Structure 1
């Protein structure tokens, strides 16, 4: 008994001392001997109170498709800000009753409340009742959840039981009361504080727990929400309603004591009892907003685009952390029809659960000012469960560790045209076997042979359609390897050439894992470049074909139409400008030169049955059959597909229905015309729909 009384006495003295020190600190901010430190503290107080007057709270960023429909939400704190007029008086009365019943009587610090807490401590050792006003709680929560971003260390600092923190909090609170009305403080508080289950502010809480808006909250609903503020991490009405009901009923009793139900005690008690007898009323499934690329919108389908969007915005000057707090509206280029068509086409060729085989496609709309990314999809779903056929990497957009095969012959052909080595109708040499006079295979001569029987000479157009290896090695010699590598970069393989090393790993800023893939080919004088064995991005392949049908104009494959901030103002991004990668005449010549791959003996002719639109196309198959690809475009849409082994141990992909891994025996290895090209045509038939057929551009005589 004596020990308990002694403890209570210590608390009583402590509270009295705290009250005295608080008064002194409020009246005399510069204390003798500590003037400089106090001035600095005063500056901090002034700055914080200024921020709190018009606090910019973390808000949800909404990502929209090209039609303005939401496809994803990105946030750190789920919050729906509301104005005072949109918050019911019932909600305001509930929070005041339980947290600060003298809210309208004090000036930021409740001296009577502190005295009452001191008296309480003297009686039974309690030390918290009435010690913190709503205004002070607003300050504390702002420092914890806005300045401190809700991190554990910041929360502990904002709530630490020290006299210094209390003094600072009290001084800020008194300043706020001079700058803001009571209703403004109350509204700001209700928009700021956490209500559990990741919700912040009464707008999100009303939606999550009751699927309603703050202006429609009933007394039991408002009381439950007000009760959550005290212990949002412990009270979870969605999972365990009993503690939440008990707390709600306590709030209702406090509301009655505070006169919320009228001055007639009997009537007020009857109303309170009626409110307390109601069920918890929380919706069966909390209306929580999906967060991030996995769970938002049609996550399994739209997730790859969402992931690319975030990466693109970070590179363009809008960090992910800012996206999660800034309340932006991102209008994207994503076409949901094209995305679904691409997804269905990819899965039609390779099921999502096919072990070790990914089938990814990207669609880009060409243009002179922008190359808009319309679809990024794969047979895989976007997610973290690999056993269910999911991938958390944006496999249609990132540089894969696998090659696009003979598609790289396009860069050799374009470089040869630019340097006037040949024209699209002029014959080139196509021996069955060729030993290079320029390139080496280590210390041995570099010898290549064709995978099939070809004429000794054929036009560049026919060579692009039928894809003999030897003819392009000879062209690469005549054109110069460095020029061919540079052409790949110029036409669109920018990350593939300069962003990764030869293993496909992203280059570190210090260059310690370099050189880049492009530089590595140049340094090693690797003639195999034109055979396309190196790491390649599916999206960049699609953008290569977009560059060609855009008259040689390269633009970054952008997922963004525009971004507006929380105030509706446009946000500028640091996007790479478009540039003229090659002369329009060369691009037009290449488009025509690549138009025969889908006809006659072209490698994609089988997949192009019933296709009746003029287009460019090129298949690719790597020598080890670990990956195959198809790149194609009309004047309206460009796209690329890569099918590659994505398991722990790469293996040969063998043809079948569906394709399968078959160890390291390439006898039955699949080709680009068998899986990748059919995926492209199935998707593009839907994407083009009934749009008008557009002819390919004319070719100048000098490039014939």
Structure 2
């Protein structure tokens, strides 16, 4: 017969071509379709052409697979995924699993060329009789169908994904033609490998490796006969045969697979009988069910930060233009993302935090710490003593990356920025400040007149010292002892705008990314808010001699094929002159080394270190932020949820208990945060060479100060004229106690020297001196480890996890004073 095929392939083309024709013409009756095989007329030729016109080249795209996030040592932190799939080669899949899957899905897999003729014929006859479009799919055809569906889903093409599994003759014919192409271009081993890595095994497990781990807690290479039979049986109906949800149906199906393996000679009767005796429920004791990507991570908070950073950081534009595109590439691309996280330091950081603040404590206490490498911005550790299962709020980072809208008030750690601004303004390293006297019972009030033009304040500003202190004092002493009024005067003299601008240069911002409020209280005494990572990176600027680097957790990224992804370098910029940073470093060694330093005893001085304590209103939050030339770390210890008592005061830390540190009557930055920082920094610097800070230059030591003329006792007008003639800006300050005649100049601030062209404040005599107060510091040293910041200016509230805090009000503009 001229129109008949002379080989099997041609016969198959004729058969399938006629099926196409039958579908197109609506001739679904068995009597019309089957006899047509023998016809050599135009219908057959048209059917053959229709089949041959179908696309035949099948492209096997890489499977969507989990990416890996690793720590700096290569240890797994997390496997981001859309589909819980881990790709493995055939050699890493148990032979039992290979046999079981072939036995139940396609026993003649190694004999056919993509189409099982016997099965196909039997199914077609059944279909024509019933009117259905049913199975007889070989394993190769199933592989084609699921691959088409997978590729469509990855393209977000829902219509194509639906069409890939539609029960139509057209789809089945296209699937068959693709299967023939796959068989021509791939080996049986390659097809079986793709199938076993692709199919869905229920319970959110895609591919045999993820299924083995999910159900049995083992790798696919270790699957036994009974385990393999259970998994192989799930594929046909993943929900019905899910052993977790439907153990009885799953066991029946498993036993059917075992029977089939015995019939095919793949397993002995003895082995099959033994396998059937094991209840499915007893097989799932070691299962590792899939959870959220970070819920199952050993470092859940860092994992969550990484997922946000990869999607939202400008540095990660190499992964996609939009967060959605990046997430898709992360979840499906099989990337290897190596981070900067030092696992040993991370463990040590969490250990020291939880010694002071146990996770799950009932005292509303939290603690957090970030460790950064100066000069690179690498995040070496990020830990917090809270329960990820109860709250995923990351206390270390900004809102953009899973943190709070604000952060926490950072107290006297703010004084560091005043030091930078003062030295930049020309104040010598041994310069002095005329600190107004104040105590807890007798605060000093900086008037609006003093601050006019220098700070944004519409009211007088009341500031306390933790004990009675004041008078002319060195910059070094004011720093070591953290005298509030000294820094209040310093910021007013230098200018709030100058200090605020310095903060911005050094990376200071709220948790929402906005600048901190420019009120004098925020700028001087840390009434603003900031996160531990932000302030650690900011202080690292000083350790790096003035170079600020954006914090980064990325060491490298490689593609699924092992090719490096070109990640842009971290953004670093010289924001403070190196010699200015050297001068500030010298001053900030005082809190740790000075006998009266607020963090004295927190560091063993085995290597040079610098830093600053911080305590906020009513001892609500406490900090220590410090560094060596090689490492910078912040430690926050405080109330996680900020609340007020019946009197409206912020809840205090005083009287609370801190793990191994015991219960504390009064809590300052140097009480808990300082010692915890010291232990973390020991771990951070272990094994590193001892590096000294660079000594300050002569220019910084001497500043640009020039002598002031003696104007004490002069009238305001005379004193102003003398000073303005020398180029100074003069303003009139507060009335002070003095034996000088009332209304005349009692003293100036600064005293003997001032920056060339700078501001000199005239302090005016009341004409008398009040009764002397009791000598300062009669109490034991430990009672004033860190002065408390007390201000009357409204401040931003601390965040409440899970609750969006209200935006703090801005102070109104100051009224014009008569």
TM > 0.5: yes
In 2, distance between residues paired with 1:537 and 1:11?
73
Mark the CA change 1:296 to 1:473 in structure 2 (over 3 Å): closer, same or farther.
Answer: same
Alpha carbons 1:365, 1:373 under 8 Å: kept: yes
Deviation at 1:478, TM superposition (A): 4.2
Which residue in 2 is equivalent to 1:68?
74
Mark the CA change 1:273 to 1:27 in structure 2 (over 3 Å): closer, same or farther.
Answer: farther
Question: Where do 1:553-572 residues align within 5 Å?
Answer: 553-572=547-566
Which residue in 1 is equivalent to 2:302?
305
Mark the CA change 1:485 to 1:604 in structure 2 (over 3 Å): closer, same or farther.
Answer: same
Please point out which of 478, 481, 484 is paired with 1:466. 481
Mark the CA change 1:645 to 1:213 in structure 2 (over 3 Å): closer, same or farther.
Answer: closer
Deviation at 1:550, TM superposition (A): 1.5
Which residue in 1 is equivalent to 2:653?
654
Which residue in 2 is equivalent to 1:231?
237
* Structure with the higher fraction of residues in helix conformation: 1
Question: Where do 1:222-371 residues align within 5 Å?
Answer: 222-238=228-244, 241-257=247-263, 259-261=264-266, 276=276, 282=283, 284-288=285-289, 292-297=293-298, 302-314=299-311, 315=313, 316-317=315-316, 318=319, 319-352=326-359, 353-366=361-374, 368=375, 370-371=376-377
Which residue in 1 is equivalent to 2:755?
none
Which residue in 2 is equivalent to 1:631?
625
Deviation digits for residues 129-168 of structure 1 (CA, Å, limit 9, x no counterpart): 6433322321332244454159996765543334554454
Which residue in 2 is equivalent to 1:142?
147
Alpha carbons 2:556, 2:567 under 8 Å: kept: no
Of 573-582 and 439-448, deviating more is 439-448
Deviation digits for residues 115-142 of structure 1 (CA, Å, limit 9, x no counterpart): 312433567x594664333223213322
Task: Find out whether 1:594 has 2:616 as its counterpart.
Answer: no
Question: Where do 1:111-260 residues align within 5 Å?
Answer: 112-121=118-127, 125=130, 127=132, 130-148=135-153, 156=162, 158-163=164-169, 165-210=171-216, 214=220, 217-238=223-244, 241-257=247-263, 259-260=264-265
Mark the CA change 1:176 to 1:528 in structure 2 (over 3 Å): closer, same or farther.
Answer: same
Alpha carbons 1:26, 1:171 under 8 Å: kept: no
Alpha carbons 1:346, 1:360 under 8 Å: kept: yes
In 1, distance between residues paired with 2:689 and 2:595?
27
Deviation digits for residues 335-363 of structure 1 (CA, Å, limit 9, x no counterpart): 23322322232223333324433221111
In 2, distance between residues paired with 1:242 and 1:28?
46
SS at match of 2:614: strand
In the alignment, structure 1 segments of 5+ residues that lack a partner are: 1-9, 32-37, 263-267, 386-390, 508-515, 661-667
Which residue in 2 is equivalent to 1:663?
none
Which residue in 1 is equivalent to 2:397?
397
Alpha carbons 1:598, 1:604 under 8 Å: kept: yes
Alpha carbons 1:365, 1:374 under 8 Å: kept: yes
Task: Find out whether 1:533 has 2:536 as its counterpart.
Answer: no
Task: Find out whether 1:673 has 2:670 as its counterpart.
Answer: yes
The two structures have a TM-score, normalised by structure 1, of 0.79
Alpha carbons 1:351, 1:658 under 8 Å: kept: no
Question: Where do 1:81-100 residues align within 5 Å?
Answer: 81-87=87-93, 90-100=96-106
In 2, distance between residues paired with 1:56 and 1:423?
65
In the alignment, structure 2 segments of 5+ residues that lack a partner are: 1-25, 38-42, 320-325, 399-403, 438-443, 645-649, 660-664, 702-818
Deviation at 1:539, TM superposition (A): 1.1
Deviation at 1:603, TM superposition (A): 4.8
In 1, distance between residues paired with 2:27 and 2:676?
75
Mark the CA change 1:171 to 1:489 in structure 2 (over 3 Å): closer, same or farther.
Answer: farther
